[in-house]
A and B are shown apart, each in its own frame.
Chain A
Amino acid sequence: MSEGTLYDKVWERHRVTTLPTGQDQLFIGLHLIHEVTSPQALGMLRERGLEVARPDLTHATVDHIVPTDDLERPFDNEAAEEMYAELEANIERTGIKFDDPSTGNQGIVHVIGPEQGLTQPGKTIVCGDSHTSTHGAFGALAFGIGTSQMRDVFATQTVAMEKKKVRRIEVTGELGEDVTAKDVVLTIIRRLGTDGGVGYVYEYAGDVIENLGMEGRMSICNMSIEGGARAGYVNPDETTYEWLENTDEFEDDPERFAEMKRYWESIASDADAEYDDVVTIDGSEIEPMVTWGTTPGQGIGISEEIPDPDSLPKDQRETARRAQKHMRVEPGDTMEGYNIDVAFLGSCTNARLSDLRAGAEIIKGRTVDDSVRALVVPGSQRVKTAAEREGLDEIFKQAGFEWRNPGCSMCLGMNDDQLVGDEASASSSNRNFVGRQGSKDGRTVLMSPKMVAAAAVAGEVTDVRELPKAEVKA
């Protein structure tokens, strides 16, 4: 078993007791909630006559169902309106803090936690959302939970969990030009598989990870779950502390920051920590990545050939055959030149300011291909405002992108932003599952924001490195 890792330390500090099942009861430092998974959990709580134990450690936003165009209430979509109203009623009943769109703080749950400084090293963070792993970028122990577990957290501020093994993933070397965090994580998932992380927590380390900013680290931790790992984290360092020092939580309280920093430093993995597994990946060999199939593990470098299913391990062949049929791709081809109808720059993986800057850098002075419907959906109202201050909105709009309001949007098509029929999308999101983007015949190609921008311009999947560079003031 692992020893001396951040995971071991944070686990131990939050362990309330060991339950008769052998699971540990863990105290939860932050419970983030949104409109899709909270109503049932709070309904169960009410049925049992229980109150929310720690509304002060609970924080709400609305992201999955909100329209990204017209926010006027009531929403056109009745089901969306009902869900929003239920969240509002629950907020009223419980006193939980709610970042509704009138506050200027609304956004995707995994964007707003970090930007407000709620996400901190050494905290346990849960949310009824599998991409809660995102918060691990700060050295938090963060994982998605189901509705019944949310009920437990609401009632007790604890959750029953089994301790997992720890796999350290070292990404060494230096990333090439236009190769980003998204390409790193798609490479990791391809290498270790979509279920390779089951039973593990991933610790991301190595020069490539250390040299990434917080937003890149978030993109990587975000997709831990796509590799089967319920949580992933990066040890906190100066990059982490610099981010936190400038958030709402600490900007006016240097004393508290200094005090907390001592705690944060104390929970980082020891230099001689023991791991259950260590994997090394050479970052300098990573290319811009694209997926050819219908799982996030079915990815290749832009210059690589789509694999012949028969060349894959036996247990992956049938999935690959079905995926290739759905995507209409042939083994031996590359993904370069794959026609797209939609370009989506958004989601909890890649809709932060640096992602928008990266896309704008590619799109500036260019135009979206006539055949492409392109949209930018900033991750939060704060991201949107910051981007507008830099003029990124103008760059995108002039190129032909739609500039939307924050939300999960076309990542999962729970609002009106959906693929239609068999449309193909170049998407900066996290899942290329069949039907994920709102149409069961829709086709999703996952890639980085830069690659999405390049695909929007070309009307097809294209190697961003081959586009001439433009300048952008950022």
Chain B
Amino acid sequence: MTEEVPSVDRVEGTGVPVRGNDIDTDQIIPARFLKVITFDGLGEFAFFDQRFDDEDNEKDHSFNEERFQGANVLVVNANFGCGSSREHAPQALQRWGIDAIVGESFAEIFAGNCLALGIPTVTADTDSVETLQSWVESNPDGEIEIDVGDETVAYGGNTIEVDVDDAQRKALVDGIWDTTALMKSNSEAIAETAASLPYIDDTAATAGD
């Protein structure tokens, strides 16, 4: 309860590109790997069906490439993370090593799930993202620096403007992205709201301590 939530003001590291629009959460983590009661060990299953064939031979995928092992900034295209609400998707990416994602756009639930894990999802226009993906492919060891507060991404001597959703930026920079304790501290107001709703019968059982 009293654990400090760290600020995620900037993320530095190397990149890994995953190209394509509409990459859904079934691609990020296929449903058969959801038959677990904890998130531990999901990292190795990130993009599993894109990475391995039926005989478990490696397919052509950036997550398999030696040069991208150790990368922590994922660079993707449009509508990344669409589909299912499974938090297993960002959990798997985080456990693989991803700390931040740069993309053209993100599905809403996915972006919310990333925020709940302290993973920034920052957006830029198509050209900027594709340019960054190409740069990462040519510079797998190249340093990328995401400044969440300033809404910039710096790499190879360039600095590009990116967008970070206002609430996400504030939550990450101020270290209030884990909302449980914060919201629980409003227990009186919660009880008042509950009492004002005509469909809540029993207001005795309030959400307070």
Interfacial residues, chain A to chain B (CB-CB below 8 A): 13-17, 19-23, 25, 27, 29, 36-37, 39-40, 43, 48-50, 53-54, 56-57, 64-65, 77, 79-80, 82-83, 86, 120, 122-123, 128-130, 132, 144-149, 151-152, 155-158, 160, 162, 194-195, 198-199, 225-226, 228, 230, 259-260, 263, 295, 315-316, 318-319, 322, 412-414, 431, 433-436, 438, 440
Contact with A along B109-139 (1 / 0, CB 8 A): 1001100110000000010000000000000
Q: Considering the chains assembled together, what is the distance between the CA atoms of A90 and B122 in angstroms?
A: 36
Contact with A along B10-41 (1 / 0, CB 8 A): 00000000001110101100111011111100
CB-based contact A318/B21 at 8 Å:
yes
CB-based contact A194/B82 at 8 Å:
yes
Q: Considering the chains assembled together, what is the distance between the CA atoms of A222 and B1 in angstroms?
A: 36
- Give which listed residue, B87, B165, B168, contacts A37 with CB less than 8 A: B87
CB-based contact B193/A156 at 8 Å:
no
- Give which listed residue, A16, A120, A147, contacts B199 with CB less than 8 A: A120
Q: Considering the chains assembled together, what is the distance between the CA atoms of A82 and B36 in angstroms?
A: 8
Instruction: Please tell me if B60 contacts chain A, counting CB pairs below 8 Å.
Output: no
Q: Shortest CB–CB separation between residue B73 and chain A, in angstroms? A: 21
CB-based contact B193/A48 at 8 Å:
no
Q: Considering the chains assembled together, what is the distance between the CA atoms of A23 and B168 in angstroms?
A: 9
Q: Which residues of B contact A198 (CB under 8 A)?
A: 79, 105-108
CB-based contact B26/A27 at 8 Å:
no
Q: Which residues of B contact A132 (CB under 8 A)?
A: 85
CB-based contact B85/A37 at 8 Å:
yes
19 A-B pairs whose Cβ atoms sit less than 8 Å apart in the complex: A15-B193, A22-B170, A25-B190, A53-B206, A64-B34, A82-B35, A130-B84, A132-B85, A146-B85, A149-B112, A149-B116, A152-B183, A156-B207, A158-B207, A194-B82, A225-B109, A228-B107, A319-B20, A435-B49
Of B61-69, B151-159, B171-179, which binds chain A? B171-179
Q: Which residues of B contact A83 (CB under 8 A)?
A: 35-37
Q: Chain A: which residue is nearest B184 at the CB level?
A: A156
CB-CB under 8 A for A158 and B190, given A414-B34, A435-B30: yes
Q: Shortest CB–CB separation between residue A72 and chain B, in angstroms? A: 19
CB-CB under 8 A for A414 and B180, given A27-B190, A263-B198, A431-B83: no
CB-based contact A39/B126 at 8 Å:
no
CB-based contact A316/B21 at 8 Å:
yes
- Give which listed residue, B88, B166, B178, B197, contacts A22 with CB less than 8 A: B166
Kindly list 8 other residue pairs between chains A and B, CB separation below 8 angstroms, not including A43-B37, A194-B22: A27-B197, A48-B180, A83-B36, A155-B183, A260-B199, A315-B78, A413-B32, A436-B31
Q: Considering the chains assembled together, what is the distance between the CA atoms of A199 and B78 in angstroms?
A: 14
- Give which listed residue, B37, B86, B199, contacts A82 with CB less than 8 A: B37
CB-based contact B87/A147 at 8 Å:
yes
Q: Considering the chains assembled together, what is the distance between the CA atoms of A56 and B27 in angstroms?
A: 36
CB-based contact B197/A13 at 8 Å:
yes
Q: Which residues of B contact A14 (CB under 8 A)?
A: 193, 197
CB-based contact B167/A22 at 8 Å:
yes
Q: Shortest CB–CB separation between residue A359 and chain B, in angstroms? A: 25
Instruction: Please tell me if B202 contacts chain A, counting CB pairs below 8 Å.
Output: yes
Q: Which residues of B contact A315 (CB under 8 A)?
A: 21, 78, 126
- Give which listed residue, A37, A43, A65, A158, contacts B38 with CB less than 8 A: A43
Instruction: Please tell me if B160 contacts chain A, counting CB pairs below 8 Å.
Output: no
Residue among B36, B171, B199 with max Cβ neighbours from chain A (10 Å): B199
Q: Considering the chains assembled together, what is the distance between the CA atoms of A19 and B182 in angstroms?
A: 8
Name the 7 nearest CB pairs between A and B, nearest first. A148-B116, A146-B113, A79-B35, A146-B87, A144-B85, A147-B87, A53-B207
Q: Chain A: which residue is nearest B36 at the CB level?
A: A79
Q: Considering the chains assembled together, what is the distance between the CA atoms of A225 and B108 in angstroms?
A: 9
CB-based contact B21/A319 at 8 Å:
yes
CB-based contact B207/A48 at 8 Å:
no
Q: Shortest CB–CB separation between residue A423 and chain B, in angstroms? A: 14
Q: Considering the chains assembled together, what is the distance between the CA atoms of A157 and B187 in angstroms?
A: 10
Q: Which residues of B contact A27 (CB under 8 A)?
A: 190, 193-194, 197
Q: Considering the chains assembled together, what is the distance between the CA atoms of A39 and B39 in angstroms?
A: 10
